[in-house]
Amino acid sequence: MSSNATLDRFYLEIPATAQETQVAFSTSGASWRARLNQMSLNAFLPWLQEEQAAKVWPSIAALPSFWEIVDGTAIDCEDMRLVLIPTIEIDLRELRVPQEWIDIPSWSADYYLAVQVNPDAGWIRIWGYTTHHQLKTKGVYDDGDRTYCLDEDDLIQDLNVLWIARQLCPEEPLRAEVLQAPALLRPQAENLLERLGNSTVTFPRLAVPFQLWAALIDHGGWRQRLYERRQGLSNSWSVPQWLQADISDLAAQLGWKAHTLLAQEMRSRAEQIGLSRQLVITGNPYELQVFPRGNPEERIWRFELHSLDGDRQVPAGFKLRLLTEDLQPFSHNEDTAIEAVDRLYVDVILEPGEGLVWEIEPIPEGYDRAILNF
């Protein structure tokens, strides 16, 4: 009677989405990839969230910049990371995981879930899973399409095992060692963006050596720019433009707002147009503000972090740091809270068009490196 049980396990209905936002991609294959990933996520995430605190990594708004170039969706779930690898294949002979999800340290995950999607019938099925360690040690690397492949028989079939194994075999290795690709300098990155940003390059991930590719897309700002260029869009990350006209859709999705900020200093009570974004750091709400100071000709900008929680201060140990586009430090680029303070801030003088990356320690939830241009 009940033999549907084995086939039936880990079937999940794809919920009917209220509205599908139209996001542009450079090929119909990339749009399709995005749709399959989105369906997997819509079906799987609510299921996971019934019991675990789970969210998309780095953020939902950043996903198109991943799907444009590579298959897969990462989810951070409590202290582990999962990557969903969707497929519409019927035969399910093996799991193929793009190298990016394995060999870029910041992307790599503990578990890789094999998701079969049936868009016509409206369901997904988790048909197995494996670990980073298994893929690295037992998987076969195919340099033709830069994937790690694991035979269906080597996957763990029952997803329940994942949670039981975490309890009963905590010593089982989940991760294998991976090395960080050497960082790129700005001219190198600019060259790569110029070349791979051309959408007639159908497979950008295979067009340059992996180390260069990995270093490029590991940087959230460059990954975003690559996506925009492949859609033929100009750089949408310009702070002066956001303040004068409209904030870009993506920046708005990430939580950036342009509005009148009340300058906090005692001597000037002047109102100031600036940018702000809410952040959650170690579970508490903070606000990052970016606004110009003094005369416009001086081109001085302030980055300021303060708590949004009435009485709370910024605790000791917090750091606010600015870096150049290719992540180089410069003098007076950092403010550290040696003891609890009302705010952290850094003032910089910027040339027109210059780009900056901000970092905060501890790392805010959903942080993805972005380049703000001035």
Tell me whether residue 11 or residue 345 sits nearer to other proteins (CB atom): 11
Q: What gap in Å lies between CA 101 and CA 75, rounded to an integer?
A: 12
Is residue 13 within the footprint of other proteins (CB under 8 A)?
yes
Is residue 93 within the footprint of other proteins (CB under 8 A)?
yes
Is residue 167 within the footprint of other proteins (CB under 8 A)?
yes
Identify the helix (H) or strand (E) that includes residue 258: strand 256-262
Tell me whether residue 87 or residue 99 sits nearer to other proteins (CB atom): 87
For the record, the structure tokens of 93 come out as 């002979």
Is residue 234 within the footprint of other proteins (CB under 8 A)?
no
Q: What gap in Å lies between CA 364 and CA 359, rounded to an integer?
A: 9
Q: What gap in Å lies between CA 350 and CA 357, rounded to an integer?
A: 13
User: Which are the contacts of 116, defined by CB distance < 8 A and separation ≥ 6?
Assistant: 86, 87, 88, 89, 92, 124, 125, 127
Put the strands of the sheet holding 343-349 in their side by side order. Answer: 256-262, 271-281, 284-293, 300-307, 343-349
Of residues 56, 60, 157, 312, which one binds other proteins by CB under 8 A?
Answer: 157
Is residue 195 within the footprint of other proteins (CB under 8 A)?
no
For the chain, count helices (H), then strands (E): 12, 18
Tell me whether residue 90 or residue 266 sits nearer to other proteins (CB atom): 90
Q: Is 337 helix (H, G, I), strand (E, B) or coil?
A: coil
Sign of CA dihedral 236, 241, 245, 247: positive
Is residue 330 within the footprint of other proteins (CB under 8 A)?
no
Is residue 80 within the footprint of other proteins (CB under 8 A)?
no
Strand partners, 77: 54, 80
The length of the chain in residues reads: 374
In this structure, what are the phi and psi dihedrals at residue 94, rounded to the nearest 5 degrees? Answer: -160, 160
Of residues 24, 47, 293, 345, which one binds other proteins by CB under 8 A?
Answer: 47
Say if residue 176 is exposed, middle or buried (CB neighbours under 10 Å; 0-12, 13-18, 19+). Answer: middle
Is residue 32 within the footprint of other proteins (CB under 8 A)?
yes
Contact present, 248 and 237 (Cβ < 8 Å): yes
Q: How far is the CB of 202 from other proteins (least distance, A)?
A: 4
From 11-19, 226-234, 316-324, 353-361, give the range in contact with other proteins by CB under 8 A: 11-19
Of residues 18, 19, 21, 50, which one binds other proteins by CB under 8 A?
Answer: 50
Tell me whether residue 165 or residue 252 sits nearer to other proteins (CB atom): 165
Of residues 137, 194, 203, 273, which one binds other proteins by CB under 8 A?
Answer: 203
Is residue 7 within the footprint of other proteins (CB under 8 A)?
yes
Tell me whether residue 109 or residue 370 sits nearer to other proteins (CB atom): 109
Contact present, 149 and 96 (Cβ < 8 Å): yes
Is residue 173 within the footprint of other proteins (CB under 8 A)?
no
Identify the helix (H) or strand (E) that includes residue 117: strand 111-118
From 165-173, 213-221, 305-313, 320-328, give the range in contact with other proteins by CB under 8 A: 165-173
Number of residues that bind other proteins (CB under 8 A): 65
Positions that interact with other proteins (CB under 8 A): 1-13, 15, 20, 27-33, 35, 43, 46-47, 50-51, 87-94, 96, 118-120, 131, 144-145, 149, 153, 156-165, 167-169, 172, 200-203, 206-207
